[in-house]
């Protein structure tokens, strides 16, 4: 059965789901999006994802043509019609069809697209063995140019970093901000464990405020683990006892080597495993 894609209130077969070549989302990356997970047919942290989507849209002067309850229903309906239980939902809001010029006032109306599908970011063995990442030269966008807190359709910053990481033989890459501090990876937030504390860059370090990141911080609090959101450098990463990444698609994935330096004993650490287990329980029980 062909997947059904939601576009502006209607469902289309995947093969027939099309947007105009004049849509400013295509022409200029002018729009916002969210990646959301579903577990056992239930959308994970819907309210938080929609809040972030609306925040991103507001900052770029984009008015979403649905209410939050209507968007939530559209997401749930798209998930249900495709019969997906454990899946991935991509919600896209573009500026809409316009002219070849930049002026968004020439666009007709914002367009809402919802795709429900499956995704596997990393193979299962990497969750058991851990992955290797590399710091790349492509830095995070300066917040005065384009804030990382906006989940915009223009992901070229991340894509260029991803390419550099792949060319270095790594499936994920670590990006620094304009201060030379640790920001995040191309699609995931980063956490370190040092002397029993959980460390992660703060929101003003040019990071996306990850939904899974916030969930893990909450789980750590429940487990009595001290969490510190502080500025971090590559030095902090290299001397960490443990390291792991979080993201909607990745969930919680351990890192055992950074820039050819072994983290801890080179295997996923006990706190990482504990949080992986708790996140699995949170989403699947």
What is the rounded distance in angstroms from the CA atom of residue 182 to the CA atom of residue 259?
A: 13
What is the rounded distance in angstroms from the CA atom of residue 41 to the CA atom of residue 18?
A: 26
Are the CB atoms for 183 and 213 separated by under 8 Å? no
Three-state SS string across the chain, please?
CCCEEEECCEEEEHHHCCCCCCEHHHHHCCEEEEEEEEECCEECCHHHHHHHHHHHHHHCCCCCCCCHHHHHHHHHHHHHHCCCCCEEEEEEEECCECCCCCCHHHCCCCEEEEEEECCCCCCHHHHHHCEEEEECCCCCCCCCCCCCCCCECCCHHHHHHHHHHHHCCCCEEEEECCCCCEEEECCCEEEEEECCEEEECCCCCCCCCCHHHHHHHHHHHHCCCCEEECCCCHHHHHCCCEEEEEECCCEEEEEEEECCEECCCCCCCHHHHHHHHHHHHHHHC
Q: Which active-site residues does the annotation give?
A: 151
- Which of 24, 19, 154, 20 minimizes the C-alpha distance to 101? 24
């Amino acid at each position: 059965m062909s997947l059904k894609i939601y576009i502006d209130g209607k469902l289309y077969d995947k093969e027939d789901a099309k947007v105009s070549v004049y849509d400013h989302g295509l022409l200029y990356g002018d729009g916002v999006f969210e990646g959301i997970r579903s577990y056992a047919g239930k959308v994970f942290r819907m309210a938080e994802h929609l809040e972030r989507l609306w925040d991103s849209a507001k900052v770029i002067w984009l008015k979403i043509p649905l209410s939050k309850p209507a968007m939530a229903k559209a997401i749930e309906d798209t998930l249900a019609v495709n019969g997906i239980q454990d899946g991935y939902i991509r919600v896209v809001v573009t500026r809409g069809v316009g002219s070849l010029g930049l002026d968004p006032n020439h666009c007709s109306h914002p367009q809402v697209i919802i795709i429900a599908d499956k995704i596997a970011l990393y193979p299962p063995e990497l969750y058991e063995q851990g992955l290797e990442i590399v710091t790349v030269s492509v830095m995070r966008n300066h917040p005065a140019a384009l804030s990382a807190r906006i989940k915009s359709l223009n992901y070229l910053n991340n894509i260029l970093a991803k390419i550099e990481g792949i060319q270095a033989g790594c499936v994920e890459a670590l990006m620094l901000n304009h201060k030379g501090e640790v920001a995040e990876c191309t699609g995931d937030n980063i956490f370190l464990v040092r002397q029993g504390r959980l460390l992660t860059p703060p929101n003003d370090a040019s990071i996306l405020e990850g939904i899974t990141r916030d969930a893990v911080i909450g789980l750590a609090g429940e487990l009595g683990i001290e969490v510190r959101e502080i500025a971090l450098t590559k030095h902090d990463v290299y001397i960490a006892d443990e390291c792991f990444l979080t993201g909607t698609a990745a969930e919680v994935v351990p890192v055992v080597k950074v820039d050819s330096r072994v983290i801890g004993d080179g295997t996923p650490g006990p706190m990482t495993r504990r949080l992986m287990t708790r996140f699995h329980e949170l989403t699947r029980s």
